[in-house]
C-alpha cells in the first residue's frame, strides 16, 4: 500500500482509541465492532480497490 | 402400480378436489406428439402457451390433486403478464392481493423500507400474493376449457429413452404401466425431477445448509398486504422472520431454525405452537389461529447447464432450484415456459430450424445463472451459511440503525424479467445506440398505458410483432415475409387507418412515441414473448427481413 495518509500523532491517537474501544466492548463483541468499523471506513474511503488491497495485506502473516 | 393419494389433502381453508385418472392418447392428427411431464404451475403454463400457437399437448401428472400447501405465494408483474398472454390472468387478479412495499425491522425499529417500482403504466401490481393451490386451480380451469390441452392425472413417469425418431416414456398408473411415444417431452416434473435423474443430468451450483420453517396459519391479523421482515427477534436470536399476507385470511410465517435443530424437532407441535405465538406477540397481534400447513425448506442455487437434450426439454424447478428469497421459484419458471413455447411451436409447424430451441437453453440457462448469483447473495444475508457471513450480516444490521449506506446490502432484490442482451436471435445491426428511451435489445417491451384499461402489452400477443411509428403504409415494414405469424402494429397520432396494418394504435399526445424514443419511421421488432430483438430509428428492408429471419431461425436463412 502507498504511503501513510496520517500524521504520526494522528495514527497514534487512533491506535490508542481502537485498543480502548476493543477493551471496552469486550471479547465477545469485538469482532462485530471491527466488522462495523471496516464497513464504515470502506464507505468513507469510497475506493473498492484500496479496500481490497488493505484486506489482502491484513490477511498476511497472521 | 402407481397409487397416488385419493383422499383430499388436509387444509383449513382450501377444498382439495381429487381428479379422476383417465387414460388419454394421441389421435394422430396432431402436428406433433408433445408430452409434458408434471402439472405444476410451469407444466400447465407451457401447455397453455403452446396452445396459443396451435400446438396441442398432453400433460402426465403423478398426483390427482393440486399442490400440497401454498408453496409459491408471490407472483411478480412479469408472471402476471405471462398469465395474461396465456389467457388466464383474470381469476388471479380477482383473488390475489397486490403489494409494493417491503419493510425490515431490527430491534423494534423499522430500519428499511423498500418500495417496488410501480406506476399507472402497468396493468399489474409489482407483486401479487396468491397461494399455489389457486395458481394451479386457475391453470387447470383454463386447461379444461381449452380443446388443445389435457391432463392425465394419477400417472407417474418411471422411465425414458430416446433415439433420433422418438422419445418413449414408461408410465405407471393404477391400471399398470404402459409406454407412450412422443416427439417432444417437456420435463416439468419439479425439483425432484424423475426425468433429470433418469437421464443422469447433474445440476451445477450450491445447496445452502440453513433450514427454515414455512408455516401457514389462518388468523384474523390486522396488517396490510406488504412484506415484513424481522431480523434477530428476541425469541429467535440471530435469525429472521418473514411475514406475508395471503388471500382468504391466511398468513405465511417463515423463520430460520436455530443451527443444529432437525426438521422433525422444528415441526413438533409444541415447539411450532410456541414459536408461532412468539411471532404473533412480536408483531403485536395476539390473536387466535389455526395451523393449515407447515414444512421445512432450505435454499439452493442450482441449475442444469443445458435445458435441451435432443427431444427432452427442461423447464421450471426440473431445470433449476432457486432460493425463495426474492420470490424466484415459480416466477423464473413462468419465464422459461414463455420463452420455450413459441420456439417449440415454430419448430413443430416448420419454417424454423431446431437451432431456435438451443436459444431457449442459452437464454434461460444464462438467466438461471444470474438468478443463482443474485439469489445466492440474498440467501447469504438472510440465512448466513458461515461465521464470516454471519458477522458481516450482524455488522450491517447494527449499522442499519444509524447508517443509510448499508441499506442496499439488505438484499431486497426480487425476481425480474431477464434481458437477453446477447441472444443469438437479436438483430446483428440493431440501431439501439441512436435511442435515448424505450426498451433496449433483449429487454421485455415496456408496459405503456394507452387508455383506461388499455395497455400496449395487451396487443403484443401471439405473434412476432413489428411496432412501427408511421403515418402511412410506405415503409419496409409492409413488405416483410415471415414463416412465423407476423403482426404489424402502427402507432400514429390520429389513429387513422393504414392499409396493411393489423392494428393502429392512436398516440394522441405522442406519449408512446416518447416512451419508446421513436420518430416517424422507427421500428421495433418484438418476439412472441414480448422481448425486443431489434430496433431502428430508420431501417432498410433487407436489414429488417434479415432480423425477422434471424429472430425465428428461419430455415432458408
Ligand atoms: C415446500 C415448498 C415450499 C415452497 N415455497 C416457495 C415460496 O415460498 N416461494 C416461491 O417462489 N417458491 C416456493 N417453492 C417453489 C415453488 O413451489 C416452485 O418453484 C414451483 O412450484 C415450480 O413449479 P414447477 O411446475 O416447475 O414444479 P412443481 O410445482 O414441483 O410441479 C411438478 C409436478 O410434477 C409432478 N411430477 C413429479 N414427478 C413426476 C413423475 N415422475 N411423473 C409425473 N408427474 C410427476 C408433481 O406431482 C408436480 O405436480 C416452494 C417449494 C416447496 C417444495
Average pLDDT (B189-195) is 98
- pLDDT mean over B45-52: 98
pLDDT at res. B408 = 81
Is the pLDDT assigned to residue B52 strictly greater than 60?
yes
Q: How far is the CA of B80 from the centre of ligand 1 (A)?
A: 18
Contact A35 B394 (CB under 8 A): yes
- SS3 of B332-351: the string is HHHHHHHHHHHHHHHHHHCC
Output the average pLDDT for chain B. 94
* DSSP states along B238-267: T-EEEEEEETTTEEEEEEEPPTT--HHHHH
Highest mean pLDDT among B233-247, B341-355, B488-502: B341-355
Residue A32 to residue B405, Cβ atoms within 8 A:
no
In this prediction, residue A4 carries a pLDDT of 56
Place of cell 391400471: B175
- What's the predicted TM-score (pTM) here? 0.95
What 8-state DSSP symbol labels residue B317? G
What is the pLDDT, as a whole number, of residue B385? 87
* pLDDT reported for residue B262: 93
Task: Mutate one of B237, B390, B395, B409 to test the A interface: name it (highest A CB count within 10 A).
Answer: B395
Of A35, A40, A43, which is closest to B392 when you measure between CB atoms? Answer: A35
- Is residue B188 in contact with ligand 1, taking CB distance under 6 Å? yes
pLDDT at A1 over 60: no
pLDDT at res. B476: 83
Per-residue pLDDT tens over the stretch B370-409? 999 988 888 888 888 889 999 999 999 999 999 988 888 8
CB of B172 sitting under 6 A from ligand 1: no
For B177-203, letters b (16+ CB in 10 Å) and e give: eeebebbbbbbbbbbebbbbebbebeb
Cell of B82: 405471462
> Nearest Cβ partner of B391 from A35, A40, A43?
A35
Residue contacts between A and B (CB atoms, under 8 Å): 22
pLDDT tens for each residue of A3-49: 558 888 898 899 999 999 999 999 999 999 999 999 999 999 999 99
Residues of chain B with pLDDT > 90, as a percent, come to 84
Q: Do B399 and A31 touch (CB under 8 A)?
A: no
Nearest to A35 among B395, B403, B405 (CB): B395
pLDDT of residue B258: 86
CA distance to partner chain A, nearest, from residue B399 (Å): 7
Residue B132 CA to ligand 1 centre (angstroms) = 9
Pick from A54-58, B186-190, B540-544 the range whose average pLDDT is largest: B186-190
DSSP state of B434: G
Chain A interface test: which of B399, B401, B404, B407 (most A C-beta within 10 Å) = B399
Query: In this model, does residue B318 exceed pLDDT 90?
Result: yes
Is the minimum distance from the CB of B73 to ligand 1 under 6 angstroms? yes
Q: What is the pLDDT of residue B326?
A: 77
Concatenate the DSSP letters of all residues of B507-524 into one string.
Answer: -TTSHHHHHTT--TT-EE
For residue A18, what pLDDT is reported? 94
pLDDT at B97: 98
Tell me the three cell numbers of residue B507: 398516440
Question: How deeply is B270 buried, as exposed, middle or buried, from its count of CB atoms within 10 A (0-12, 13-18, 19+)?
Answer: exposed
Domains defined along chain B, listed by start? 34-95+126-204+302-373 (3.50.50.60), 432-551 (3.40.30.10)
Amino acid at each position: 500500500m502507498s504511503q501513510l495518509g496520517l500524521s504520526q500523532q494522528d495514527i497514534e491517537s487512533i491506535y490508542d482509541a481502537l485498543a480502548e474501544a476493543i477493551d471496552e466492548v469486550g471479547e465477545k463483541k469485538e469482532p462485530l465492532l471491527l466488522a462495523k468499523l471496516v464497513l464504515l471506513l470502506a464507505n468513507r474511503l469510497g475506493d473498492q480497490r484500496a479496500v481490497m488491497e488493505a484486506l489482502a495485506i491484513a490477511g498476511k502473516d497472521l | 402400480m402407481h397409487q397416488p393419494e385419493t383422499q383430499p389433502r388436509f387444509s383449513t381453508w382450501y377444498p382439495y378436489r381429487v381428479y379422476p385418472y383417465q387414460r388419454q392418447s394421441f389421435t394422430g392428427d396432431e402436428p406433433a406428439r408433445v408430452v409434458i411431464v408434471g402439472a405444476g404451475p410451469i407444466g400447465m403454463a407451457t401447455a397453455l402457451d403452446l396452445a396459443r400457437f396451435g400446438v396441442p399437448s398432453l400433460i402426465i401428472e403423478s398426483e390427482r390433486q393440486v399442490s400440497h400447501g401454498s408453496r409459491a405465494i408471490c407472483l411478480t408483474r412479469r408472471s402476471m403478464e405471462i398469465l395474461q398472454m396465456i389467457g388466464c390472468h383474470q381469476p388471479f387478479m380477482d383473488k390475489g392481493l397486490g403489494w409494493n412495499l417491503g419493510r425490515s425491522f431490527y430491534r423494534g425499529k423499522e430500519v428499511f423500507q423498500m418500495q417496488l417500482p410501480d406506476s399507472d403504466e402497468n396493468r399489474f401490481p409489482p407483486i401479487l400474493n396468491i397461494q399455489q393451490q389457486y395458481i394451479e386451480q386457475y391453470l387447470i380451469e383454463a386447461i379444461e376449457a381449452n380443446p388443445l390441452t389435457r391432463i392425465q392425472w394419477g400417472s407417474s413417469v418411471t422411465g425414458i429413452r430416446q433415439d433420433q425418431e422418438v422419445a418413449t416414456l414408461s408410465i405407471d398408473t393404477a391400471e399398470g404401466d404402459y409406454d407412450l411415444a412422443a416427439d417432444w417431452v417437456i420435463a416439468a416434473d419439479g425439483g425432484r425431477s424423475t426425468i433429470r435423474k433418469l437421464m443422469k443430468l447433474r445440476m451445477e451450483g450450491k445447496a445452502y445448509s440453513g433450514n427454515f420453517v414455512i408455516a401457514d396459519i389462518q388468523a384474523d391479523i390486522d396488517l396490510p398486504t406488504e412484506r415484513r421482515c424481522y431480523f434477530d427477534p428476541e425469541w429467535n436470536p440471530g435469525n429472521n422472520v418473514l411475514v406475508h399476507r395471503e388471500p382468504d385470511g391466511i398468513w405465511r410465517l417463515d423463520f430460520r431454525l436455530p443451527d443444529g435443530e432437525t426438521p422433525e424437532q422444528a415441526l413438533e407441535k409444541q415447539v411450532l405452537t410456541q414459536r408461532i405465538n412468539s411471532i404473533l406477540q412480536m408483531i403485536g397481534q395476539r390473536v387466535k389461529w389455526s395451523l393449515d400447513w407447515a414444512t421445512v425448506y432450505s435454499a439452493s442455487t442450482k441449475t442444469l447447464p443445458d435445458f435441451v437434450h435432443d427431444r427432452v426439454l427442461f423447464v421450471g424447478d426440473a431445470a433449476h432450484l432457486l432460493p425463495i428469497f426474492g420470490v424466484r421459484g415459480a416466477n423464473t419458471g413462468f419465464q422459461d415456459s414463455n420463452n420455450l413455447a413459441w420456439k417449440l411451436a415454430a419448430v413443430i409447424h416448420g419454417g424454423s430450424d431446431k437451432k431456435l430451441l438451443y436459444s431457449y437453453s442459452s437464454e434461460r440457462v444464462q438467466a438461471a445463472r444470474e438468478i443463482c448469483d443474485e439469489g445466492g447473495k440474498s440467501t447469504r444475508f438472510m440465512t448466513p451459511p458461515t461465521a464470516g457471513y454471519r458477522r458481516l450480516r450482524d455488522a450491517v444490521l447494527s449499522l442499519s440503525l444509524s447508517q443509510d449506506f448499508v441499506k442496499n446490502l439488505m438484499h431486497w432484490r426480487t425476481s425480474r424479467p431477464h434481458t437477453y442482451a446477447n441472444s443469438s436471435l437479436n438483430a446483428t445491426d440493431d440501431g439501439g445506440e441512436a435511442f435515448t428511451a424505450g426498451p433496449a435489445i433483449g429487454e421485455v417491451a415496456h408496459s405503456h398505458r394507452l387508455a383506461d384499461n388499455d395497455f400496449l402489452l395487451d396487443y403484443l400477443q401471439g405473434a412476432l410483432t413489428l411496432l412501427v411509428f408511421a403515418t402511412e403504409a410506405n415503409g419496409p415494414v409492409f413488405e416483410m415475409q415471415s414463416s412465423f405469424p407476423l403482426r404489424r402494429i402502427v402507432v400514429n397520432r390520429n389513429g387513422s387507418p393504414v392499409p396493411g396494418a393489423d392494428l393502429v394504435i392512436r398516440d394522441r399526445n405522442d406519449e408512446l412515441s416518447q416512451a419508446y424514443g421513436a420518430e416517424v419511421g422507427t421500428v421495433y421488432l418484438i418476439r412472441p414473448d414480448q422481448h425486443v430483438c431489434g430496433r431502428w430509428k430508420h431501417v432498410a428492408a433487407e436489414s429488417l427481413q434479415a432480423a425477422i429471419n434471424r429472430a425465428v431461425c428461419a430455415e432458408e436463412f
